[in-house]
């Protein structure tokens, strides 16, 4: 399962540097998680690091990206082998 940052995010900037897979990026208004890169820290840590540091508890499991622990481990291995593309570039703000 990939994680998901809800609109309760306060943009405190603590989650992004904690992600070992570079799955977290700044979206138009709040941080977002690229589900193709999120392994819930499987392969790196026992617990998702973003969840551990989030001061507002706004990072639940993404119900639209359900994966087994084995699938998360396989995704981790593909990321380590460089088989998945980098995180998407943040979209340009329509206000910019």
Give residue-wise pLDDT tens across range 46-55: 999 999 999 9
Give a yes or no: residue 73 inside a domain: yes
pLDDT band at 84 (very low <50, low <70, confident <90, very high): low
Number of domains forming the structure of the chain? 1
- Whether residue 75 lies inside any domain: the answer is yes
Reply yes or no on whether the pLDDT at 70 is more than 50.
Answer: yes
| 76 lies in some domain | yes
pLDDT at 76 over 50: yes
Give the mean model confidence (pLDDT) for residues 3-12.
Answer: 97
Q: What is the pLDDT of residue 79?
A: 95
Domain of 67 in residue numbering reads as 16-80
Q: Find the CATH number of the domain harbouring 56.
A: 3.30.70.20
- Tell me if 23 is assigned to some domain: yes
Q: Determine phi and psi for 79, rounding to 5 degrees.
A: -65, -40
In angstroms, the CA 49 to CA 14 distance is 10
Full-model pTM: 0.82
Q: Running DSSP on this structure, what letter comes out for residue 85? A: P
């Amino acid at each position: 399962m990939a994680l998901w940052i809800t609109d309760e995010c306060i943009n405190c900037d603590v989650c992004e540097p904690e992600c070992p897979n570079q799955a977290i990026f700044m979206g138009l208004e709040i941080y977002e998680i690229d589900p193709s890169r999120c392994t819930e820290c499987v392969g790196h840590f026992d617990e998702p690091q973003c969840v551990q540091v989030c001061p507002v508890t706004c990072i639940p499991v993404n119900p639209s990206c359900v994966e087994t622990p084995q699938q998360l481990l396989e995704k981790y291995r593909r990321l380590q082998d460089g088989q998945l593309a980098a995180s998407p570039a943040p979209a340009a703000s329509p206000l910019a």
